[in-house]
Chain A
Amino acid sequence: MIQLTNIDKYYDSKFQRTYVLKDIILEVKEGEFLSVMGPSGSGKSTLLNIIGLMDSPSSGKYLLDGNSVLDLKEKVRVDYHRNFISFIFQAYHLIEEMTVYENIETPLIYKGVKSHDRESMVADLLDRFNIVAKKDLFPQQLSGGQQQLVGIARAIISKPKLLLADEPTGNLHSTQGEMIMETLKELNNEGMTIIHVTHNEKFAQYGKRIIRLEDGNIRSDTNRKT
């Protein structure tokens, strides 16, 4: 599904070129659950952003679903974001002025789903994550774990093929973190491709495959046989 070839990402300052990613070669197949690990500044988030079409590499090739996705037009890129890729974040990034219900509904509005259909889709998800009672609350009124659940709900409501998670458990204590990881695992079992950046060794083990980044290079790439 994802094919990265010789991906570089660097910043030029006056005297030197600083590499964030260097010569990354990575292939991710459909249905994989990939954990990306590495210390701070190793380029995990940049890699995720490049995969999620929020950042572009300085050089290299990127095929997504068989198509080259470098230098996309705004319209095409937005289409990918609407239908193909979704994100969850460490800081949840929910819109604070909106209720839980409205937050989850937003991607559907952009996708142009009819109001009647939206209602049933949001209701399904609320039901699935057991947050029906919270639907009229605002994000600040929820616990971190609940907020992240809303974040996941928002991410998957548009039925994406690829879910990118940037340290989704980073702000959560371990029981809540486990709950989130269980949810992701479940989604993966349903066939969703997930790439997941984390610091946490234990949570990384939820992935079927783990890569470790260091100074912009992939140091190891292991498949777990479980």
Chain B
Amino acid sequence: MTIRNFVRKPVTNLINLVGLAVSLALVIILSVYSYSELTTDNYHKNGDRVYLFGDLTKGIYTPAILKEHIDLSVPGVESTVRMASAWEAPTFQVGNNDPITSDLLFADEDFFKLLTYHPVEGNLESALKEPMSVVITTMLSEKLFGSDQAVGKTMKINNDKELTVTAVIEAPKANSCISFSAIASVATRKIVFPNGDEFTEWGWCNYQTFMLLKKGINPDETAKKILALYPEIPPDNSAAKLNPFTKLYFSAFNVYGNSYLHHGDKKKIMILVMVAALVLMIALVNFINIFSSQWLDKIKQTGVMKIIGAKRSTILLNVLSEAFLLFLVALFIAIILVGMINPFIQNYTGIRFNPQFIYSPGFILLSIAIVFVLSILFSIIPALRISSSNAIDNLKKTIEQPVSNSFFGGVLVTTQFIIAIVLLAFTVLVQKQVNFGSSDLGFNQNNIIGIKLTPQLNGKKEVLKKLLQEKPNVERISFTQYYPGKQISHWGTHQDINGVKKQLSFDTFNADATFFGVLGLQLTQGRFYSEDLTTDTKKMVVNETFLRENKMENPIGAKFVMGMGMDAGLSEIIGVVKDFHYKAVNEPIVSLVMQNEPNAFYCLVSLQTTDFKSLHRTIDEIKTASSQLSPSFPVEISFFDQAVENMYKSELEFQRTFSLFAGCAIVIGCMGILAMSLFMCQRRIKEIGIRKVNGATIAEVITLLNKNFVKWVAIAFVIATPIAWYTMHKWLEDFAYKTEISWWIFMVSGMLTLGIALLTVSWQSWKAATRNPVEALRYE
């Protein structure tokens, strides 16, 4: 019976089913994603007692020496663990296999006491005790050792010292704000990457300090005790607290480049959950509209059933089960759909979750239960009305569609239009913001490639330079520590500049003289340093923000100490460049100091614009040449503009997610409007016939039929505009550089909605208006 009913009105029912299925699929994706985001790091056994020391808004970098003082003199701390990732991703080599580049995290040996991971091989409690031991994930183990057992085996790090694998862990199932492929102890770091006075000076802030508090210890008091350990109040951490680890993921903290720590964006998730809710709402409105439009048909049908002797409850049950069945089928289509589009969604929008989750019995049972409740909720009123109507009335069809129904329908459609306009306006805004953020970064991005300097390349920079210069199309070559989206040092020091005590806090990297030309940076004062390092040493170029933040009016010639320990000495500011975005675009530009020290991590090569083919040939040649110089380390070459894209990746992904979902919402809404107009035209067939007989033209009939929809769009526009404006305003608050909310965004989305609605409706109106009135007016 249900299936026959479905087939009898294929268009409307299909609209209903597809709309529900697509919206449920989106809801499933977003809810599973939100669930996994919101439950980030809730699986660690001791997680609720783990804290990160620092001031999240300013800096979470602390000196290594802090741990020793905490261990000695702060009671209540069960264990302190410092963590830092390797500055540059190292390479691991097993035997004579190809070296593999991987990230590496350093942490103190109690790491596994604070955070819970599951061992596949080896014992985690003692895994990091011995220096030069390393714990790796199953994924890395497979890459390095294949299916062999990894524990006990050794591998070379950076073609130098040997590390012994002591345990293999499963990659964490749930989301975590800490991610790594390999972890070694801090003691190992001391041996593998010796780094100045890192372990003895308070000024070397390279670590995050996590700690496990004993039960019942007050974190605020402990934080005060720790702060008192500092010999001098640290400029970035004067307001440091103990931040609960479980809440870390949704805190906006600053980390530099390739960090093991990353954070989510609660606002983004909230917005996506809202979008999911709106999409579901649109589909449910369709459901209500279509369900109540079939009301008259149903009444006729049930009239016959009642006369043959069906009970009220039977009919009620019938109507309800029909609705539930529709929802259930939609749910299963949705689940299949999610499985199918999941890889695409992950790639395109960066929404990642465990797809196995949606096939778990718990999830399926829960969603069936939800669908059950929804279907009953949205069909109970028409069901009750149908079942309680009088059988004779039903047959005579004297039951009129209640007037409230068409009014109600209007409200529902207006609601859909409101949602459509808000979503459209927001999509336009997100697009505008992404364009705004990525349009003017303040430097060249095109035709520049970056070669990561492997240890072997680093030793032969001059040779590399000469080799590259011989290649055709190569314009300029620069050695630098900076690369878009990669790690940048941040320093905070007390300095004495021209006799004035200042607290400085700035980002810094080394770059040679060619760097400015390659990136096309603009000088506002002074000069760039020259190529010749013998005469032009210890010189610095700062950005405009540096002047503003430190209130320097005559910066040229000012000197302060750069570096620490052995290589410290006075450096001189010789130039000021215009601000440019060198970090993620939604972060504010901070003070920046560039100095002409020779150590570099990257070689930037700017190429002359020529045709695509020869460009590619040159890049291939560069790759071969540099690979020859670096036989034991794989050479990575990347396009600058791709790296730059990473600087606004999260915005880009958000934009894609949003436009995808908003698009779906609008399509589903359109389908609903189509069904609605179909129904309205059917109901008014007689009226249209009368009007035509009385001399109405087709155009007049179409106008008559479309008038209501135009009215609804207009009302929706008036209501939607302030809502959209407010949400836009809220969303933009987070951006350091934001685009304007222009009036045309609303106009565009309003007109677009009107256009789409009219197109959809006119299709039906046209059909209704061109019908021969004789058919409509034939006596029934």
Contacts and interface: CB of A to CB of B under 8 A. Distances in A.
Nearest to A50: B774
Interface in B748-780: 772-774, 777-780
Contact of A74 (B687, B690, B691, B698): B698
B779 A107 contact: no
Interface stretch (A12-20, A84-92, A215-223): A84-92
Interface string A146-161: 0000000010001000
Given A49-B774, A55-B774, A110-B700, A93 B695 contact: no
Q: Which of A45, A49, A75, A78 has the most CB of B within 10 A?
A: A78
Contact of A54 (B686, B693, B779): B693
A54 B694 contact: no
B405 to A, nearest CB: 13
B336 to A, nearest CB: 42
B46 interface: no
B485 to A, nearest CB: 63
A55 B779 contact: no
A154 B686 CA distance: 16
Contact of B779 (A49, A52, A91, A97): A91
A199 interface: no
Contact of A95 (B690, B698, B700, B774): B690
B559 to A, nearest CB: 87
B780 A91 contact: yes
Determine which residue in B695, B696, B774, B778 has the highest number of CB atoms from chain A within 10 A of its CB, and name it.
B695
B354 interface: no
A54 B691 contact: no
A118 B774 CA distance: 28
B689 interface: yes
A78 B691 contact: no
Interface in A90-147: 90-91, 93-97, 106-107, 110-111
B694 A107 contact: yes
Interface residues of A, number: 30
Contacts of B300: none
B696 A78 contact: yes
B698 A81 contact: no
Given A93-B686, A95-B687, A78 B779 contact: no
Contacts of A52: 693
A54 B700 contact: no
B689 A93 contact: yes
Contacts of B695: 78, 81-83, 107, 110-111, 158
B774 A154 contact: no
A198 to B, nearest CB: 13
A152 to B, nearest CB: 13
Contacts of B690: 93-95
B697 interface: yes
B224 to A, nearest CB: 75
Contacts of B691: 95, 106, 110
Nearest to A110: B695
Most chain B beta-carbon neighbours within 10 Å: one of A49, A82, A93, A107: A93
A110 B701 CA distance: 11
A55 B11 CA distance: 29
A194 to B, nearest CB: 16
A81 B774 contact: no
Contact of B692 (A81, A83, A154, A166): A81
A154 B780 CA distance: 22
A94 B693 CA distance: 12
A170 B779 CA distance: 11
Contacts of A97: 687
Nearest to A157: B694
Consensus secondary structure, chain B interface:
helix
Nearest to A154: B694
A81 B694 contact: yes
Nearest to B688: A95
A166 B772 CA distance: 17
Contacts of B694: 81-82, 86, 106-107, 110, 154
Contacts of A82: 694-695
Nearest to B700: A110
B398 to A, nearest CB: 10
B777 A93 contact: yes
Contacts of A90: 779
A86 B695 CA distance: 9
- Which residue of A90, A97, A110 has the most chain B CB atoms within 10 A of its CB atom? A110
A209 to B, nearest CB: 25
Given A54-B774, A90-B779, A91-B780, A81 B700 contact: no
A82 B687 CA distance: 17
Interface string B707-719: 0000000000000
Contacts of B689: 93
Interface string A54-90: 1100000000000000000011001001110011011
Given A74-B698, A93-B686, A110-B700, A87 B693 contact: yes
Contacts of A94: 690
Contacts of A170: 779
B264 to A, nearest CB: 54
Interface in A200-217: none
A52 B693 CA distance: 9
A75 B697 contact: yes
A19 to B, nearest CB: 18
Interface in B649-706: 686-687, 689-698, 700
Contacts of A154: 694
B779 A81 contact: no
A196 to B, nearest CB: 15
A144 to B, nearest CB: 14
A179 to B, nearest CB: 21
Contacts of B773: 54
A96 B686 CA distance: 10
Nearest to A151: B690
A158 B694 CA distance: 9
Contacts of A81: 692-695
A202 B774 CA distance: 27
A104 to B, nearest CB: 10
Interface in A41-57: 45, 49, 52, 54-55
Contacts of B696: 78, 110
A158 B689 CA distance: 18
Contacts of B778: 45
Contacts of B686: 93
Nearest to A81: B695
B691 to A, nearest CB: 7
B348 to A, nearest CB: 48
Contacts of A89: 777, 779
B692 to A, nearest CB: 7
8 contacts: A45-B778, A52-B693, A54-B773, A55-B772, A78-B695, A78-B697, A83-B695, A106-B694
Interface of B: 686-687, 689-698, 700, 772-774, 777-780
Given A54-B773, A91-B779, 6 more contacts: A78-B696, A83-B695, A97-B687, A107-B694, A110-B695, A110-B700
**Which 8 pairs from chain A and chain B are nearest by CB?**
A82-B695, A110-B695, A81-B695, A107-B694, A54-B774, A93-B690, A78-B697, A49-B774
